[in-house]
Structure 1
Amino acid sequence: MSVYLDHNASAPILPRVRAAMLAALEMVGNPSSVHGPGRALRALVDDARDKVAKAAGAEAKQVVFTGSATEALTQAIVGGVKAFGIDRVIVCATDHAAALKAAEASGVSVRVVGVDDNGIVDLGALGRHVETASAAGEKLLVAVSWVNNETGVIQPRGKLEALIGPTPHVLVIDAVQAFGKRDLDFAACATDMMAISAHKIGGPAGIGALLVKGHADTVRLIPGGGQEQGRRGGTESAALIAGFGAACEEFGEVFEADRAEALVTAFEDRLIALAPDAVIFSRGAERIGTTSNFAVPGVKNTVAMMSLDLAGIAVSSGSACSSGKVGRSHVLSAMGVAPDLSECGLRVSFGWSSTAEDIDAFFSAFETVLSRHRRNGAAA
């Protein structure tokens, strides 16, 4: 038996996605070629672009396909610094490593804005950065993850847009965990650029997109032969793009937000009943209804994950983009969680294929983990 509770890392591929990709792989040519096979592939890419745009509330011309959301964020931040003449990049302490590393590589100074103990960005501190920069005639690029991939915390995007949108500063939103689960409404919003990914919604890995407003069309990262209207060089992967488009359609049909939220609620209720000393992180904040990040004091995540994995249960300790490391989370550290507790942090994340039986299987295995921990504690 195998139970997958790590949808935030990557969701299982959807059936129509696989079919769309296989069909595209049967086609020959290059989407930039002017002959018949090339035009057929271009039509496939354009159709997928329309589907992605519809799912994001964007215009098709605002969708730039990239090799991943990490690339999209790097293009937005590194490319945005150059295109807009940015003086300073502001990031949130709990942002994904993709944004934090891109900021470091931007070539300008970086300031990190902290969060409260629930992981909500300090809007007061951010506002002071904006005021100081505006008074000095400097331009900022502010990057924030809308939905945190580890805790599921939802940042106040509306307040961020109200703070940054009316100014000359640039706002970049990492919408990877929000895409497909929240209304992005990109075309009408005050965000300048937004990153999304296919494999979080049952599409293939290796394909993402940067949503860009018209005034950000000059943002570049990879020069090349003029693909993506000159905004991202390199031959488009028609198969991956077709899979992305298919995922945008099918995920909307099979993912039920209310059902996922009910699973998280049932999971957390059962966790507290089993382990009353368990700590559920960010429980006091608005969270996406797919994610629970928790710790049972004294139960190290390295030990718990090994035991769960042997029982066929896939969970994580946080981001999967940390070179396979298990241990202390930078997100929990930023929230002020004590080191010994953060080293016990585990994340379960539900998605389109999750069921109540998955929860049963998890607790069947986790009870064994806790029993062993309690026996060892009593023996000591």
Structure 2
Amino acid sequence: MTKAAIYLDHNAASPLLPEARAALVAALELTGNASSVHGHGRALRNLIDTARGQVAALAGADRKQVVFTGSATEAITQAIIGGAKAFSSAAVVISAGEHAAVSKAAEMTGLPVITIGLLADGSIDLDQLEEILQHAAGNLLVCLHWVNNETGVVQPVGRINALVGPTPHTLFIDAVQAFGKLPLDFAASAPDMIAVSGHKIGAPAGIGALLVKSHADVVRLIPGGGQEQGRRGGTEAAALIASFGAAASAIADRYAAANVPALIAQLEASLPSDAVVFGGTRLGNVVNFAVPGIKNATAMMGLDLLGLSVSSGSACSSGKVGPSHVLAAMGVAPELADCALRVSLGWNSTGDDVDAFVAGYRSILERQRARQGQAA
């Protein structure tokens, strides 16, 4: 097997940005603890404060609203489990297309979990959400994603905000896939909390953030020595935080320079005529599609041998190719869902990458169909 040379799985993790790498290396040269009052500690604290402002700027937030965490999953867990306790929630509302980090945290609250369905285009059934809100007995913790990690479907967050915002219910948005790709204005928007990730925008894995409004400042999960304004205990990983901040400052320009939506349009136009693309309104960096009769496991192995890295959906579910709960919720037939591939591009993707994928996939398709013809 050849080493993967072309990376087309940015929704799983985006390659390290040069700016993020430089910030990481520089921070690793420093010694100390950011909570210490001496010069070494103050130098690290300055790095963290700078990064907090950089992440806040990308999210349209006040720097005091940014709580650094060890990952987006930790941020999500803090928002859901900590939020359910802080707000005395009667139930947790999620959609059928949520990432496992959301659905499993909802289960861990021990509260009733109300699941909203997806429409055929992958969008959340807002009529069902409205009905749930109208008939709620007690405060609800509503936890929904902005952009689906498997299909790239962009949820109508404006309408979600309009439905939940005026109510006493609590709204948490998983903004992991939207961060750095769509404009965020957390400070002026309805959500009480949002979660974002570092390694989706070109920072290293192991760093994320939970953004909280002042009235949600009571949300806690990890006790400790008062770090992160008393919201999340544990000595801050200053180097990872500095790298996250550098990535937040650089990603928008890098993403625009790569002209990612045009590359996705190029890819979609080159797919076989019988390919089925899943999702309606989608983010312009990902396409989830299937060609009937070509199993995704077969296609992924063949592409991997050609040095092309793609996926069949979430990289966090099991590490194995399996049925997609997102496509199932959209009503996609199991035999077609078993053929689904996700190609996601990012800041260092090129037209040559797209051409290589199209050529590689077509070669696998031709060989597979030739074998099927011989078997028949």
TM-score calculated relative to the size of structure 2: 0.97
Q: 1:281 aligns with which of 278, 289, 293?
A: 278
**Residue identity in the other structure for 1:161:** N
Query: Secondary structure of 1:200's partner?
Result: coil
Q: Which residue of 1 aligns with 2:339?
A: 344
User: What aligned pairs does 1:1-380 form with structure 2 within 5 A after superposition?
Assistant: 2-133=5-136, 136=137, 138-256=138-256, 259-271=259-271, 275-282=272-279, 285-379=280-374, 380=376
Separation of aligned partners in 2, 1:335 and 1:98: 20
Deviation at 1:156, TM superposition (A): 0.5
Unaligned runs of 5+ in 1: none
CA distance in 1, matches of 2:98, 2:282: 15
Identity level (%): 61
For residues 75-110 of structure 1, the C-alpha deviation after alignment (integer angstroms, 9 at most, x for no partner) is 000000000000000001001111001101012110
Shift of 1:327: 2.1
Deviation at 1:36, TM superposition (A): 1.1
Q: Which amino acid aligns with 1:347?
A: R
Report the secondary structure of 1:255's partner residue: helix
TM-score, structure 1 normalization: 0.96
| Inter-partner Cα distance in structure 1 for 2:257 and 2:120 | 26
Q: Is the 8 A contact 1:301 1:327 kept in 2?
A: no
Deviations 1:167-225 (A, max 9, x none): 11000000000001111100010110000001111111100000000001110111111
Q: How many residues align?
A: 372
Q: 1:9 to 1:85 in 2, by over 3 A?
A: same
8 A Cα contact 1:113 1:122, kept in partner: yes
Cα separation, 2, equivalents of 1:128 and 1:258:
42
SS in 2 for 1:180: coil
The separation in 2 between residues aligned to 1:117 and 1:77, in whole angstroms, is 27
Amino acid at match of 1:95: E
Cα distance in 2 for partners of 1:253, 1:118 equals 30
Q: Describe the superposition over 1:7-56 as per-residue Cα deviations: whole angstroms up to 9, x where unpaired.
A: 10000101111111111111010001111111111111001001000111
> 1: distance between equivalents of 2:277 and 2:371?
24
CA contact (8 A) 1:181 1:257 kept: no
Structure 1 residue ranges, 4+ long, deviating more than 6 angstroms after superposition:
none
Secondary structure class of the residue paired with 1:89: strand
- Distance in 2, matches of 1:67 and 1:87, equals 28
Comparing 256-265 with 143-152, greater Cα deviation is found at 256-265
Matches of 2:8 and 2:168 in 1, distance apart? Answer: 42
Partner of 2:135: helix, strand, or coil? helix
Deviation at 1:258, TM superposition (A): 8.1
Q: Which amino acid aligns with 1:36?
A: G
**Following the alignment from structure 1 to structure 2, what is the Cα–Cα distance between the partners of residues 152 and 333?**
15
- For the residue of structure 2 that corresponds to 1:352, the secondary structure is coil
What SS class does the counterpart of residue 90 from structure 1 fall into?
A: strand
Shift of 1:359: 1.0
Aligned with 1:358: secondary structure? Answer: helix
Distance in 1 of aligned mates of 2:256 and 2:109: 38
